[in-house]
Structure 1
Amino acid sequence: MEKLALSDLLHIKHPIIIAPMFLVSNEEMIIAGTENGVAAAIPALNYRSTELLREGLKRMKSRAKGPVGVNLIVNASNIYVEEQLKICVEEGIDFFITSLGSPKKVIEAAKAKSIKVFCDVTDVEYAKKVEALGADAVIAVNNRAGGHAGRIDAKTLITSIKQAISIPVISAGGVGTKKEMDELIAAGADGFSIGSVFIASHEAGVSEEYKQACVNYGEKDIVMTSKLSGTPCTVINTPYVKEIGTEQSWLERFLNRNKRLKKWVKAMTFYRGMKSLEKAAFSATYKTVWCAGPSIEHVKSIQSVKEIIDKLVSHE
């Protein structure tokens, strides 16, 4: 593949990060990614405690053949962020991906240890802010990303951010083939954060039903729901999702507008939604909600991480 800025930043063969996916990313996926020329990241919240996070980082650092990163949620919903940050710095991870808040403290702590910091952004203004704070790159989350998607299409987002800042722009969302990567490289992408196509990997620790759903469903089956976390999130439109709908009820909307209750209602919605995703990820029932992005259109079978990477970088 063409050598891009991300390859130089992380000293990797292919300019790809296996994106951190809540509950889906695990240590085997991370290790497999680093063994095949890419970087990989895991959400800190995939570990049930900060001590388990430390133990996991030690295991991965001892086995990894390339850079290992950690995704930190840096807003008030993550009450463990300061301890997670401290542990990641102490264990010497290679890079952070920050989401949903100000990365200021993460950047300050990381710089002292020469750890790279990449910040999720969905618009030009936020990209400018994190560059000013000292971020090493931005991850431009577009409107085809899995999970919490942005609002702007990939090409527009990349070109507008490239014109506004001087640090690398990593594209996140909707990519599942070499052709799609080449199109965004032409638009100025300096690398890619790719997640959904790796859900249906042998290494992923989720249920076989979740993996098979990524094979059976496609781009047209991805819908946005606000019922999981209070923030719009992409899920597979299963019969159960169709039954419960994708919009919050009138009571949930009313409570979310109440200034005194809004903070607590959002916290409760987020907690309830995350528990729902956790149950769905590791078991299959009628009441299943699976998070994924439109790039599952390109998932035709359950494969190894190596096979998925080979397909992404191949000209075939």
Structure 2
Amino acid sequence: MTDMGGATKMDGATNRGCLDELFPAGRLPLMAAPMFLVSGPELAIACATAGIVGSFPAPNARNVDLLEVWLAQVTSALRDMPGASPWALNMIVHSTYDRFERELALVMEISAPHRFYRARQPRARARACA
């Protein structure tokens, strides 16, 4: 599991390891940005199928129940797909975001391969994502 962003700076070797995991040999280092109101499970699946890391922001699912459906949809679609790139969920960790704990529980339950979140947010929440 790779966690990009957050509470601590990573050294060059750790960064290289994260990049190697995200972009195996022969793959272009491309990631579809998690675009608010645009990205969703269909785009993440299409990107991963095309060899690009697909992603979407958790708040694009208008509630946690829908996010659970989306996470299951992406996980199911890519689980047995040979050669699919990884996918990522962009999590909001700001202390005012009231869905964080419920979203994190879902992510940990399905073991999402990669999570991205904004740096310089409250340290306790950033550590919970690690």
Task: Tell whether the structures are fold-level matches, with TM greater than 0.5.
Answer: yes
For residue 9 of structure 1, report the CA deviation from its aligned partner: 2.5
The correspondence for 1:9, drawn from 21, 31, 48, is 21
Q: CA deviation at 1:83?
A: 0.8
Q: Alpha-carbon deviations, 1:283-316, whole Å to 9, x = none? A: xxxxxxxxxxxxxxxxxxxxxxxxxxxxxxxxxx
Offset at residue 45 of structure 1 (A): 0.2
8 Å contact 2:22–2:86 — kept in the other structure? yes
Choose the corresponding residue for 2:40, options 26, 34, 38: 26
Ranges in structure 1 where 5+ consecutive residues have no aligned partner: 111-316
In the alignment, which residue of structure 1 is the partner of 2:85?
A: 66
Contact 2:23–2:29 at 8 Å: present in 1 too?
A: no
Per the TM alignment, residue 62 of structure 1 is displaced from its structure 2 partner at its CA by 1.1
- The answer to whether the Cα contact below 8 Å between 2:58 and 2:89 also exists between their aligned partners in 1 is yes
Alignment correspondent of 1:53: 67
Q: CA RMSD in A?
A: 2.1
Aligned to 1:140: none
**Larger RCO, structures 1/2 (Cα 8 Å, 6+ apart):** 2
Residue 98 of structure 1: aligned partner: 117
Q: Aligned residue for 1:85?
A: 104
Distance 2:23 2:127 in 1: 20
- Deviating runs (4+, > 3 A) in structure 1? 4-7, 103-110
Greater Cα radius of gyration, structure 1 or 2? 1
Relative to the length of structure 1, the TM-score reads: 0.31
Aligned length: 107
CA distance in 2, matches of 1:52, 1:67: 21
- List per-residue Cα deviations over 1:102-122 (Å, max 9, x = no partner): 354344454xxxxxxxxxxxx
CA distance in 2, matches of 1:49, 1:82: 13
Query: Normalization by structure 2: what TM-score?
Result: 0.71
Provide, for residues 85-118 of structure 1, a one-character-per-residue CA deviation record: whole Å limited to 9, x for no partner: 11111111111111262354344454xxxxxxxx
Cα deviation, residue 7, structure 1: 4.1
Q: Deviations over 1:216-237 (max 9, x none)?
A: xxxxxxxxxxxxxxxxxxxxxx
Distance 2:63 2:48 in 1: 25
Q: Which sections of structure 2, spanning at least 5 residues, go unmatched?
A: 1-14, 79-83
Amino acid at match of 2:20: D
The within-5 A match list for 1:285-296 is none
The amino acid of 2:87's aligned partner reads V
